[in-house]
Structure 1
Amino acid sequence: MNLSILLAAFISILSASGAMAARGTVFHDKNQNGKRDNGEPGIKNIGVSNGKEVTKTNGEGVWELPHDDNTIFFVIKPRDWSTPVNEHNLPQFYYIHKPEGSSPKLKYKGLEPTGPLPKSIDFALNPKKEPDTFKAIFFGDPQPSTIKQVNYIAHDIISELIGTDAKFGVTLGDIMNDNLDLFPSSNANLALIGIPWYNVVGNHDINFDSPDDAGSNATFHRFFGPNYYSFDHGPVHFIVLDDVEWSGRNYKGGLNEDQLTFVKNDLALVPEEKLIVLMMHIPLTNVGNRQELYRLIEKRRYTMSISGHTHWHAHKLIDEKDGWKGKEPHHHIINVCVSGTWWKGNKDEVAIPHATMRDGAPNGYSIITFDGTKHTLDFKAARQPASYQMSIHAPDQIDPENENKKLIYVNVFNGSVKSKVKMRLGKGADWIPLKKTVENDPYYVELREREAANSKTGKTSLNPPSPSDHLWK
């Protein structure tokens, strides 16, 4: 069955069911003004979604989907095409239909009433070649509470990324630390990097005064559009998920049914040979109904996922112990975070807190190189050379009588269960294999003790340590 017949059948179903239908065109925006002008043709076979159903445009670029009065429509960016970006390099690939707007009672402003549905909702695309191999930047938890901390991000992280050869960036949630009025300043910061920037919603990015989950993303929608969506870049298919469920009192990790329906319908149109990358805030193993998501992706050969939230860095291999039924374990990355230990710790020579993470690794970000179905993550510590990849904790001297009680620890920031770590004492000595351990990083423990001892109160602002997933001794 060709796409035109399929679309016609879908429209027929809409009419028969009495559902309200929205329609529009995905078009080649030749003059790049974001509007469809005479002579700008529609583009066939492009995915469009209403957050549940996914359809493909017909031969003229036309799509049609049902809607209610709380619908975000979005185009699924295909390979070798780009969507427009706004003045802050935020991709403009969506249309929000919310005639009554968000609740005016919210502390942080949401959406203004959008009015009646337009006669045609048109999405602009422009051709742009995308190679099989490319880089993307991933930020975990920038999480500023104040404009001063927004400036920390500018000088600690963003300044060194200006002029990057990465094709786009992603913030994996906790863009803010509850103060949603800082979104514009943060967005202006990120725009300096000069590449399209996608955003995932985190538990500190929501409207806490919303009585339910449905209204908790009002301010996020205002600035960033849909809280879940997908797009292609090169040979890779990326899916942004919202795994923060708000009850009106607290949050938990979960995926609502509409979102799971979208993922199912989206993946039905994605070839099996593509790498699928899931991007979320709360780590996948902390998502209550993750088994439903596992069932949607585990038969595919090429999948990975990445999150933030914890303020430490780790590589997890999800297998049958967690209910995964795929042939190979699923690689989940808990990404290094920009804010480290929530912008805490003594300030350095440029008045920025060292913000060492609770696992002993420095604050920073990751750069992932995608090559077909493969991916390689490079850990980048803030304002450090790319070669800075480990810290070594060793005693100043060893008493021969107690030498077995003194241990050398190596924190390999991007290490995993697959890493092999060896050491030697002197160039001519034999290499000694070290044993992987999961325990508190002794350097971070000493750092907290030292900062507490040197403070007037005898206390430190640094959070207690968390067992490191990348420590050897």
Structure 2
Amino acid sequence: MYRHFLLTSVTVGVIFSLAPQSLVAQQQASGTVFVDANSNGKFDDGEETKAGVFVSNGRELVATDEEGKYQIAVGDDTIVFVVKPTGYRVPTDQDHISRFYYIHKPNGSPKDLKFPGVEPTGPLPQTINFPLHKQDEPTAFDVLFFGDPQPRNQQEIDYIAHDVVEPLIGFDAAFGVTLGDILFNDLNLFDSFNRTIGKIGIPWYNVIGNHDINFATDKDELSDETYERVYGPAYYSFNYGGVHFVVVDDVHWMTDGKRKFYRSGLSDAQLDFIENDLKTVPQDQLVVAMMHIPLVKSTPWLEPKRDRLFRILETRDHCISLSGHTHHHEHVMIGEESGWKKPQPHHHIINVTVCGSWWSGRPDENDIPHTMCADGTPNGYTVMHFDGDKYELEYRAARRLPDYQVRVMADEEYAADREVPGSFFANVFNAMPEAKVEWKLQTGEQWLPMTKTVEADPLFLKRHEEEKAIKAKTGSVPWRELPKPMPSPHLWTAKVPTNLKAGTYAIEVRCTNPNGQVLTGERIFRVK
């Protein structure tokens, strides 16, 4: 059972709230936030209560009083959740999914959805209590970020298991987050996916993506009913180690009367929640906003919503954001040209995807597609290192050693008597804007600058052309085709000197990011 709630007895009052064109009856949910000393999920006599913990109805936040009690308005489709404070954990289920909420849908979800939503919850409980458990939370900690695992069937869940999850079993991170597109449309796969990710063994949070919604409805407010049944609220917040994390639902499902489709978008209720939520966070704390569709991919007619989000985030001294969706990896510094008004640009990270290019490309010896992203980045995930208001993102390629950060691409052999120098390339997967990329041939030689270039990654282009040749000859390829190449945002080039004597050489590449992070790669070639 996904819905987590605890019931005791308290009086429930009724008020009325003015909504557009109608009066909507609301009730007052009440309860206590407490430290669950015996881990039975119930608020027992003598257990410690927690004052100053925030509880939300998805729009407003209220702080618990000195006795740990709260009261907040709810309607007939409300998820009440606790904002986890630093130094405490919320309950998790057998798959380590965080359960910090109560779903109130007296009549349940509509029955005509393709995938089941929430069963009727019945009358509002007399109390909704939220248990917490004390835990040590250092200010320096790591978080796993998965972009778009996006399996369309059980076989692709198995790819995830062997490609990414198995090497991470027992990984020492505070928690993990999937940045949307958990699945690829078949929402019946949530259970199997959760069991697989759960093997990592750390608490897990989720962001809703455009492939995680119920396409049977044409209303945005009903599109996440199955997601809510499995994971709870589509937007929420929590704290860990003095850092404040905000999960954003920026997928707007809609119809124009002829077709159903999604666009990037934010509801007014959610924007109210984010604004109210950040007012509770001290200014010296880092805020991390996590969403599916990148902030730089906003739909023009929905830009006023994004602009309001920008205005909210601009109030913070320390704020970053992450997304997935586009199936490539890129650091973006959002500035005035995109509507950001604060002098300091906003650091937005488009996270590499677990599924790479949708599990496409030639399978390897383990029958797993190489699924390289269209910018040349190998599929994988990231590890974010936090320490107070400081952070550093580490890219990890699936089933590769952690130090695989740069792909150097050069010919196997160059002629010693050639007159025109040949080019070589370096794809620095996790390079930030303004990164300094250099190269040299031998240890001890002087580092030389490389030139940034905007073109397709040569290796991805080669694999794409190979597929085209196979398809032209046979009519099809025996695997899912790669997407079209895209200009890589982190590709550099330089020339191999023409004055090299015959022999074997090693190109060394060094990237220094603006934050001081150093990434390296090597490539051996011959001169004959």
TM-score by length of 1: 0.94
2:448 is the counterpart of 1:448: no
Query: Partner residue of 2:284?
Result: 273
Query: Partner residue of 1:98?
Result: 105
The whole-number CA distance in structure 2 between the counterparts of 1:428 and 1:236 is 42
The whole-number CA distance in structure 2 between the counterparts of 1:432 and 1:12 is 72
Could you list the per-position Cα deviations for residues 375-397 of structure 1 after superposition, in whole angstroms to 9, with x for gaps in the alignment?
A: 11110000000111111122334
2:270 is the counterpart of 1:259: yes
The whole-number CA distance in structure 2 between the counterparts of 1:428 and 1:167 is 40
Deviation at 1:466, TM superposition (A): 1.3
2:301 is the counterpart of 1:283: no
Does the 8 Å CA contact 2:455/2:488 hold for their aligned counterparts? yes
The whole-number CA distance in structure 2 between the counterparts of 1:398 and 1:164 is 43
Figure out how many residues of one structure are paired with residues of the other and give that number.
Answer: 462
Deviation at 1:398, TM superposition (A): 4.2
446-455 or 302-311: which moved more? 446-455
Deviation at 1:457, TM superposition (A): 2.7
Could you list the per-position Cα deviations for residues 311-340 of structure 1 after superposition, in whole angstroms to 9, with x for gaps in the alignment?
A: 000000011111112231110000010000
2:475 counterpart (451, 457, 465): 457
- SS of 1:160's partner is helix
Deviation at 1:451, TM superposition (A): 3.3
The whole-number CA distance in structure 1 between the counterparts of 2:187 and 2:326 is 20
Pairing 1:56-455 to 2, within 5 Å after superposition: 56-248=63-255, 249-287=260-298, 288=303, 289-398=305-414, 403-404=420-421, 406-427=422-443, 429-454=445-470
Q: Which structure shows the higher strand fraction?
A: 2
Query: Partner residue of 1:3?
Result: none
Does the 8 Å CA contact 1:140/1:172 hold for their aligned counterparts? yes
The whole-number CA distance in structure 1 between the counterparts of 2:419 and 2:445 is 21
- SS of 2:326's partner is coil
Q: Which runs of 5+ in 1 are unaligned?
A: 1-10
TM-score by length of 2: 0.85
2:191 aligned partner, one-letter code: P
Deviation at 1:424, TM superposition (A): 1.7
1:462 aligned partner, one-letter code: L
The whole-number CA distance in structure 2 between the counterparts of 1:12 and 1:185 is 41
Deviation at 1:13, TM superposition (A): 12
Does the 8 Å CA contact 1:41/1:60 hold for their aligned counterparts? no
2:420 aligned partner, one-letter code: E
Query: Partner residue of 2:520?
Result: none
34-43 or 219-228: which moved more? 34-43
Percent identity among equivalent residues? 47
The whole-number CA distance in structure 2 between the counterparts of 1:16 and 1:383 is 54
Query: Partner residue of 1:471?
Result: 491
The whole-number CA distance in structure 1 between the counterparts of 2:446 and 2:17 is 77
Does the 8 Å CA contact 2:236/2:248 hold for their aligned counterparts? yes
Deviation at 1:14, TM superposition (A): 6.0
Does the 8 Å CA contact 1:416/1:469 hold for their aligned counterparts? no
Deviation at 1:39, TM superposition (A): 1.9
286-295 or 13-22: which moved more? 13-22
1:293 aligned partner, one-letter code: L
Does the 8 Å CA contact 2:98/2:204 hold for their aligned counterparts? yes
Query: Partner residue of 1:40?
Result: 47
Does the 8 Å CA contact 1:364/1:381 hold for their aligned counterparts? yes
The whole-number CA distance in structure 1 between the counterparts of 2:238 and 2:367 is 39
- SS of 2:453's partner is strand
44-53 or 326-335: which moved more? 326-335
Does the 8 Å CA contact 1:163/1:194 hold for their aligned counterparts? yes
Specify whether residues 268 and 13 from structure 1 end up closer, same or farther in structure 2 by C-alpha distance, changes over 3 A only: farther
The whole-number CA distance in structure 2 between the counterparts of 1:105 and 1:454 is 44
Deviation at 1:134, TM superposition (A): 0.2
2:294 aligned partner, one-letter code: P
Deviation at 1:154, TM superposition (A): 0.3
The whole-number CA distance in structure 1 between the counterparts of 2:402 and 2:418 is 39
Deviation at 1:453, TM superposition (A): 3.0
Could you list the per-position Cα deviations for residues 360-389 of structure 1 after superposition, in whole angstroms to 9, with x for gaps in the alignment?
A: 010000000001001111100000001111
Aligned Cα root-mean-square deviation (Å): 1.8
Could you list the per-position Cα deviations for residues 13-36 of structure 1 after superposition, in whole angstroms to 9, with x for gaps in the alignment?
A: 968988421111111111111121
Query: Partner residue of 2:516?
Result: none
The whole-number CA distance in structure 2 between the counterparts of 1:309 and 1:25 is 38
Does the 8 Å CA contact 1:359/1:469 hold for their aligned counterparts? yes
Could you list the per-position Cα deviations for residues 99-148 of structure 1 after superposition, in whole angstroms to 9, with x for gaps in the alignment?
A: 11111111111110010000001000011110010000000000000100
Specify whether residues 446 and 251 from structure 1 end up closer, same or farther in structure 2 by C-alpha distance, changes over 3 A only: same
The whole-number CA distance in structure 1 between the counterparts of 2:329 and 2:81 is 32
Specify whether residues 447 and 16 from structure 1 end up closer, same or farther in structure 2 by C-alpha distance, changes over 3 A only: closer
Does the 8 Å CA contact 1:412/1:470 hold for their aligned counterparts? yes
Does the 8 Å CA contact 2:460/2:485 hold for their aligned counterparts? yes
Specify whether residues 173 and 15 from structure 1 end up closer, same or farther in structure 2 by C-alpha distance, changes over 3 A only: closer
319-328 or 81-90: which moved more? 319-328
Deviation at 1:450, TM superposition (A): 2.0
Could you list the per-position Cα deviations for residues 134-190 of structure 1 after superposition, in whole angstroms to 9, with x for gaps in the alignment?
A: 000000000000100000000000001111110100000000000100000000001
- SS of 1:69's partner is coil
1:222 aligned partner, one-letter code: R
Could you list the per-position Cα deviations for residues 28-52 of structure 1 after superposition, in whole angstroms to 9, with x for gaps in the alignment?
A: 1111111212222321110000000
Could you list the per-position Cα deviations for residues 375-427 of structure 1 after superposition, in whole angstroms to 9, with x for gaps in the alignment?
A: 111100000001111111223344665625x3211000101213111112333
Does the 8 Å CA contact 2:13/2:28 hold for their aligned counterparts? no
The whole-number CA distance in structure 1 between the counterparts of 2:126 and 2:449 is 68
Deviation at 1:350, TM superposition (A): 0.8
Specify whether residues 428 and 258 from structure 1 end up closer, same or farther in structure 2 by C-alpha distance, changes over 3 A only: same
Deviation at 1:428, TM superposition (A): 5.2
Does the 8 Å CA contact 2:374/2:460 hold for their aligned counterparts? yes
The whole-number CA distance in structure 2 between the counterparts of 1:154 and 1:174 is 16
- SS of 2:420's partner is helix
